[in-house]
Amino acid sequence: MSKLLEQINTESRIGSIKDLVFPVSNTYDFSNIDKVVFINTGDVHEGKFLHKDYSNTKKLPGQAKKIIEFGDMVFSEIRPKNRHYALVDFDSKDYVVSTKLIVLKVKENIDPRFAYIVLTADQNLMEFQNIAESRSGTFPQITFDAIADYEVNIPKLLIQKKIADILSAYDSKIENNNKLIKNFEATAQTIFNEWFVDFRFPGYEKVKMADSETGEIPEGWDVGKIEDVVTRLSTQKTYKEESLLNKGSVPVYDQSSKGIIGFHNEEPSFEASINDPILIFGDHTCRIQIICEPFSLGPNTIPLGGKNSYGPIFTYFLTKGSIGQREYKRHWGELSNIVFFIPPVELAKNFVLKIKSFISKIVTLEKENTKLKELRDLLLVKLI
């Protein structure tokens, strides 16, 4: 590593963003094409394309125009700090993107992964955000011309590839951990569905079915609402993202897909652990999360504790997917009115005991990812 750092210091030149990439606006040819995957600004986040769903070309909005190709980068014009960006590392011939996404191609002797790393580094994103906020308009927005002259360090191509390889190894490990997390959660969800949706819980053969207001349910079960199984906890203080640190002792969760929006070094608003977790619900986004560490909250995020001996882990799986954001409004009232099948407490506890090891592994992997991201960020500062 020391040799690489020496090479970076001695074999690099000061350049600018326009020496790495240039914008393109090639228009998609819709003739003889019935369906495409349309990507809007919200459909990319931190390197991921969030869907692969096809849309009828006759129903696309007017901003669905731009072609993307392998090796391109897409970068949202709006609020760079929100991290709506991605590198195209797949066959994208069926994709069309919004005109609100800047499409960038690398210049000669520039590695696409290196250029992507530079453009999406935290320190550069914050500078782009400052540039966006300095412009007049309804919301913070940039153009390529606005960031084209921003200075960056450009090493030789071979060194660019080495830097990309090192940082990509961290990204790959984080991505593998994320896949494991999804698998553990999917396994737990499968068990939940078998027990509490299909009513094939342990000993179900010996339990008779009984009529209820919403259909047949096993004897001993009830029809209830979320407030029968959770207590809404009071929130003393919420934190806005712009007031938070990039690192700190206490994570701050909010309702967004990012989960953790920053850190502070004050006392946590809530104490939580794997043995005593807390559920949080995004009042606008409907995002539901289990928190197993001391934490604080961002705006419009509701903390929930257990009630009537039903724990947050059971309630997480009970309510997960039951409600989705259809418009930007508060959804707690809507969630509160949904009817659920409520099993006996002991059965709910047995479910938690059965899947708790999965939750513990998820928590461990998430903590490992946090450490990996910290190490990656430290290296990133040195390498670019």
| pLDDT given for residue 291 in this prediction | 95
167 pLDDT higher than 90: yes
pLDDT tops 70 at residue 324: no
Per-residue pLDDT tens over the stretch 100-117: 999 999 999 999 999 999
Residue-by-residue DSSP string for 40-109: -GGGEETTEE----EEEGGG--TTEEEE--TT-EEEESB-GGG--EEE--S--TTEEEETTEEEEEEPTT
166 belongs to a structural domain: no
User: Is 190 inside a domain boundary?
Assistant: yes
pLDDT attached to residue 326: 57
Tokens of 327: 């418009």
CA distances from 8 to 11, 157, 369 (A): 5, 11, 27
Report the pLDDT value the prediction gives residue 12, as an integer from 0 to 100.
Answer: 85
Residue 178 lies in a domain: no
State whether 222 and 135 are in the same domain: no
272 inside domain: yes
Do the Cβ atoms of 223 and 339 come closer than 8 Å?
A: yes
- Residue 131 phi, psi dihedral angles, 5° rounding: -65, -45
CATH number of the domain enclosing 233: 3.90.220.20
**Mean pLDDT across 61-68:** 94
State the average pLDDT over residues 28-45: 92
Residues 6 or more apart whose CB falls under 8 angstroms from that of 289 comprise 253, 259, 279, 280, 316
H or E stretch covering 173: helix 157-196
**pLDDT of 245 above 60:** yes
249 and 327 co-located in one domain: yes
Same domain, 139 and 189: no
Count of domains observed in the chain: 2
Could you count the other beta carbons within 10 Å of the beta carbon of residue 193? Answer: 12
Residue 163 pLDDT? 94
Query: Do 351 and 216 fall within a single domain?
Result: yes
pLDDT greater than 90 at residue 139: no
Neighbouring C-alpha atoms within 13 Å toward the C-beta of 297:
26
Residues 53 and 120 in one domain: yes
CA–CA separation, 196 and 343 (whole Å): 7
The string of pLDDT tens digits covering residues 201-214 is 999 999 999 998 88
What are 84-98's pLDDT values in tens digits?
999 999 999 999 999
Average pLDDT of the chain is 92
pLDDT digits (tens, 9 = 90+) for 327-363: 556 889 889 999 999 999 999 999 999 999 999 999 9
Count of positions (residues) in the chain:
384
Q: Are residues 270 and 312 in the same domain?
A: yes
**Per-residue pLDDT, 161:** 95
Residue 20 has a CB neighbour count (10 Å cut-off) of: 23
Tokens of 58: 């006759």
Of 103, 137, 155, the residue at which a domain comes to its end is 155
Q: How confident is the model at residue 322 (pLDDT cuts 50, 70, 90)?
A: confident
Helix (H, G, I), strand (E, B) or coil at 203: coil
- Residue 368, domain member (yes or no): no
Please state, in angstroms and as integers, the Cα–Cα distance from residue 219 to each residue in 72, 198, 200, 215, following that order. 58, 14, 13, 12
Query: Given pLDDT bands bounded at 50, 70 and 90, which one contains residue 296?
Result: very high
Domain identity same for 141 and 198: no
DSSP 3-state of 13? strand
Does residue 128 share a domain with residue 54? yes
- Split at pLDDT 50, 70, 90, the class of 5 is confident
Give domain status of residue 136, yes or no. yes
pLDDT of residue 327: 58
Pair 130, 24 in one domain: yes
Query: 366 is written with which tokens?
Result: 């998430």
Please report whether residue 216 resides in a domain.
yes
Contact (CB, 8 A) for 236 and 227: no
Distances (CA, A) of 314 to 32, 137, 138, 289, 307: 50, 46, 43, 12, 11
Owner of token pair 């731009």:
66
The whole domain housing 272 covers 184-355
- The DSSP output letter for 309 is T
Percent above pLDDT 90 for the chain:
74
The answer to whether position 383 is within a domain reads: no
